[in-house]
């Protein structure tokens, strides 16, 4: 017999805490101290329906995995559960109005357009989480602007009637040299989450990297795959290596073709925009100066499982538990690329985690320009595949990375923005726009195949220059009123 709302309501504190999730009741009293996001957030929903808060940040198999079966109390007659009367939220009303008035998808011409729309219509928590980066967000901005310090040296009079964008990454043929990189918590941006990216990736034959911290389960993303579509797995290494082994081997059994181990996040960076919007409904407390809770933002709250003791010593173990190629994601200097070759990694992703970890870390494109000449000088360029991600918004950015020796380029936030703003169609259009830009750029640079791209086609001398131009005298500019010419004197 189904439980009634009244039965649940009585268990509304730390002594006895029941919650409803997707129409079922759970006794989470003993789980409270273990919850990676802290007990406070659960207690807020003690005796109530917690589905809305739970959904985007927990894959659907979470309760089966982490809560003992004896605590699964069974179905609830939802007609008997008091509906929470939500206060009229003017901010949300404004957002819904903006959703109604958003531009047509066909009016989006480039990846920045999706970002502009997403910023206006995504929920504040989603925008805060996706768009935020570490500290002053200097690295996040540098990731894109570094591409502006590379200039093309096009060649002319090459037959570019037919342009071939296809390439091979980790032995897989794919139609374009970019892939959907792993980004977490997809349901913050779209009710269906990451499977939307899977479907769009299929349409364009683009590889998808499945995130450990997805809102969908790995099985859901794998089940959403069609035909011979290719997926890789991004891995956060758990302190409990048995959990890690299970995840890796399960992904391999389900057909994932690459293991990308995240190595740049022994601790999650501080993303203050995310912390401020907070993943609680009373985010605005911070602004009004009232007492705040200690919310750390969506990501940090659930990151305590990540093992900060992960080290080079562990790499052979990963190679021993899987036949998938092993790639280290988040390498940031040539010395570590050489070390990765030495320990037998099949690849590296030069990446600073979208600027979300160490602020003022260099851009991946700069690290690539540092790395490839060293690999070539030592004859190691074919021993390891080098990928880059971060700040890629234009096909010219992708082409520059390939010219400098990258095997492929990861794109994260832009596809999330396209998904948040327009769903699957949006992601498909974003991919199509990139393809169209790329075909044109290839013609203009004088290359009919991505395999013809090489370092002679770019001038990257300025890439390593980090100095700022003469600082702008911002303060005086803000108080200075320019001399206004007098009104014409009467004759």
> Which residues carry out catalysis?
236, 264, 353
State how far the Cα of 333 lies from the Cα of 114, in Å rounded to an integer: 32
Could you tell me which residues are beta bridge partners of residue 235?
261
* Per-position DSSP letters for 338-389, written without gaps between them: HHHHHTT-SEEEE--TTTTSSTTPPPHHHHHHHHHHHHHHTT-TTTSEEEEE
Which helix (H) or strand (E) segment holds residue 26: the answer is: strand 24-27
Residue nearest to ligand PPY (CB): 184
Shortest CB 334 distance to ligand PPY, Å: 24
Terminus-to-terminus CA distance in the chain, angstroms? 96
Q: Which stretch binds ligand PPY (CB under 6 A): 150-158, 298-306, 372-380, 446-454?
A: 298-306
Shortest CB 181 distance to ligand PPY, Å: 10
303 binds ligand PPY (CB under 6 A): yes
Shortest CB 62 distance to ligand PPY, Å: 13
Shortest CB 85 distance to ligand PPY, Å: 32
268 binds ligand PPY (CB under 6 A): yes
Nearer to ligand PPY, 143 or 167 (CB): 143
Q: Where are the beta strands (DSSP E) in 88-206?
A: 151-152, 167-169, 172-174, 178-180
Strands 167-169 and 151-152: unpaired
Rg (CA), the chain: 25
356 binds ligand PPY (CB under 6 A): yes
Largest CA distance in the chain: 96
Nearer to ligand PPY, 11 or 353 (CB): 353
Q: Which stretch binds ligand PPY (CB under 6 A): 139-147, 297-305, 309-317, 416-424?
A: 297-305
Residues 46, 188, 207, 299: which binds ligand PPY (CB under 6 A)? 299
x/- mask, ligand PPY, residues 207-226, rule CB under 6 A, reads ------x-------------
Shortest CB 221 distance to ligand PPY, Å: 15
Residues 221, 302, 386, 438: which binds ligand PPY (CB under 6 A)? 302
b/e per residue 243-261 (b: at least 16 CB within 10 A): ebbebbeebbebebbbbbb
Give how many residues touch ligand PPY by CB under 6 A: 8
**Residue of 207, 159, 140, 231 whose CA lies nearest to 415:** 207
x/- mask, ligand PPY, residues 148-187, rule CB under 6 A, reads ------------------------------------x---
Q: Which stretch binds ligand PPY (CB under 6 A): 48-56, 278-286, 295-303, 376-384?
A: 295-303
Task: Give the residue ranges of DSSP H helices in 132-189.
Answer: 138-145
Q: In this structure, what are the phi and psi dihedrals at residue 169, rounded to the nearest 5 degrees?
A: -125, 130
State how far the Cα of 218 lies from the Cα of 397, in Å rounded to an integer: 30
Shortest CB 234 distance to ligand PPY, Å: 8
List interacting residues with ligand PPY (CB under 6 A): 184, 213, 268, 299, 302-303, 353, 356
């Amino acid at each position: 017999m189904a439980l009634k709302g009244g039965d649940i309501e009585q268990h509304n504190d730390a002594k006895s805490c029941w919650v409803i999730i997707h129409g079922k009741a759970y006794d989470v009293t003993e789980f409270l101290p273990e919850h990676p996001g802290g007990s406070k957030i659960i207690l807020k929903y003690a005796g109530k329906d917690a589905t809305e808060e739970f959904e985007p940040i927990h894959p659907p198999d979470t309760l089966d995995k982490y809560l003992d079966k004896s605590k699964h109390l069974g179905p609830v007659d939802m007609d008997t559960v008091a509906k929470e009367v939500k206060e009229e939220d003017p901010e949300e009303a404004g957002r819904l109005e903006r959703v109604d008035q958003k531009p047509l998808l066909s009016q989006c011409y480039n990846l920045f357009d999706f970002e502009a729309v997403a910023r206006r219509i995504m929920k504040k928590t989603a925008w805060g989480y996706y768009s935020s980066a570490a500290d002053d967000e200097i690295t996040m901005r540098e990731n894109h602007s570094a591409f502006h310090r590379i200039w093309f040296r096009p060649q002319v009079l090459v037959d570019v009637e037919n342009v071939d964008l296809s390439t091979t990454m980790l032995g897989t043929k794919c139609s374009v040299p970019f892939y959907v990189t792993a980004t977490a918590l997809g349901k913050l941006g779209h009710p269906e989450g990451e499977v939307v990216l899977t479907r769009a990736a299929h349409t364009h034959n683009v590889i998808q990297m499945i995130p450990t911290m997805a809102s969908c389960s790995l099985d859901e993303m794998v089940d959403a795959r069609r035909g011979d579509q290719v997926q890789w797995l991004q891995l956060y290494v758990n302190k409990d290596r048995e959990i890690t082994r299970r995840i890796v081997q399960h992904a391999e059994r389900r057909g994932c073709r690459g293991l990308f181990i995240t190595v740049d996040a022994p601790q999650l960076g501080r993303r203050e925009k995310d912390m401020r919007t907070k993943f609680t409904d009373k985010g605005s407390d911070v602004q009004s100066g009232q007492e705040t809770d200690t919310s750390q933002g969506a990501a940090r709250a659930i990151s305590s499982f990540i093992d900060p003791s992960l080290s080079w010593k562990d790499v052979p173990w990963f190679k021993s538990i899987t036949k998938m190629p092993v790639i280290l994601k988040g390498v940031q200097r040539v010395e570590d690329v050489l070390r990765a070759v030495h320990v037998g990694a099949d690849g590296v992703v030069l990446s600073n985690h979208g600027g979300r970890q160490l602020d003022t870390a260099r851009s991946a494109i700069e690290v690539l320009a540092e790395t490839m000449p060293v690999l070539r000088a030592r004859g190691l360029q074919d021993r390891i595949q080098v990928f880059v991600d971060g700040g890629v918004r234009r096909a010219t950015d992708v082409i520059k990375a390939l010219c400098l020796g990258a095997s492929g380029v990861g794109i994260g936030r832009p596809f999330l923005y396209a998904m948040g703003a327009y769903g699957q169609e949006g992601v498909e259009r974003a991919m199509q726009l990139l393809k169209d830009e790329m075909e044109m750029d290839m013609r203009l640079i004088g290359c009919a195949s991505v395999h013809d791209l090489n370092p002679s086609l770019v001038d990257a001398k300025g890439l390593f220059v980090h100095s700022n131009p003469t600082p702008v005298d911002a303060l005086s500019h803000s108080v200075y009123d320019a001399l206004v010419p007098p009104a014409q004197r009467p004759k």
